[in-house]
Amino acid sequence: MVVVFMESGTNRGGVDYILLEFPTVCETPFSVTDASLPCRVDRTEGPLSDIDHVHMINHSLNTKLFGDNDVIVSDYPRAETTNSATSILAHLYGRIKLTNGRAPYFVLLGWV
């Protein structure tokens, strides 16, 4: 089975396997520059409660390109640490605390 999540503009052609992302998926923060990779609910909307969404971890670390501004890029130099099993599992276990023990369905990595 294939399921596609889009931020907007879905099902205008009546395609059942294209779903709106944020009413369906509950994510951790996106474009994070904090190396602790905070685990809180972000980028979601109703009608479902947060616990009833499909859960995803945005496990990618970014860095500010020009100091203290809004231009961010993936933090490639720290990718080996960020993408380690230790880091991913720590983020996963932090997320499970928010979802009544349910593991996330997806993990998004910035660099592989």
Q: 18-27, pLDDT tens digit by residue? A: 888 888 888 8
**14 within domain boundaries:** no
What is the Cα–Cα distance from 41 to 37, expressed in whole angstroms? Answer: 12
Task: Give the model's pLDDT for residue 72.
Answer: 86
What is the rounded distance in angstroms from the CA atom of residue 43 to the CA atom of residue 29?
7
Nearest to 108 by CA among 56, 62, 61: 56
Query: What is d(CA 40, CA 95) in angstroms, rounded to the nearest whole number?
Result: 7
Q: What band does 11 get if pLDDT is binned at 50, 70 and 90? A: low
Q: Is the model's pLDDT at 8 over the cut of 80?
A: no
Q: Is 73 within the bounds of a domain?
A: yes
Residue 17 lies in a domain: no
Residue 71: inside a domain: yes
Q: What is the DSSP letter of 62?
A: E
**97, part of any domain:** yes
Higher pLDDT, 37 or 3: 37
The domain of 33 spans 26-109
Number of domains observed in the structure of the chain = 1
Q: How confident is the model at residue 84 (pLDDT cuts 50, 70, 90)?
A: very high
Is 17 a residue whose pLDDT tops 90? no
Q: Please report whether residue 11 resides in a domain.
A: no
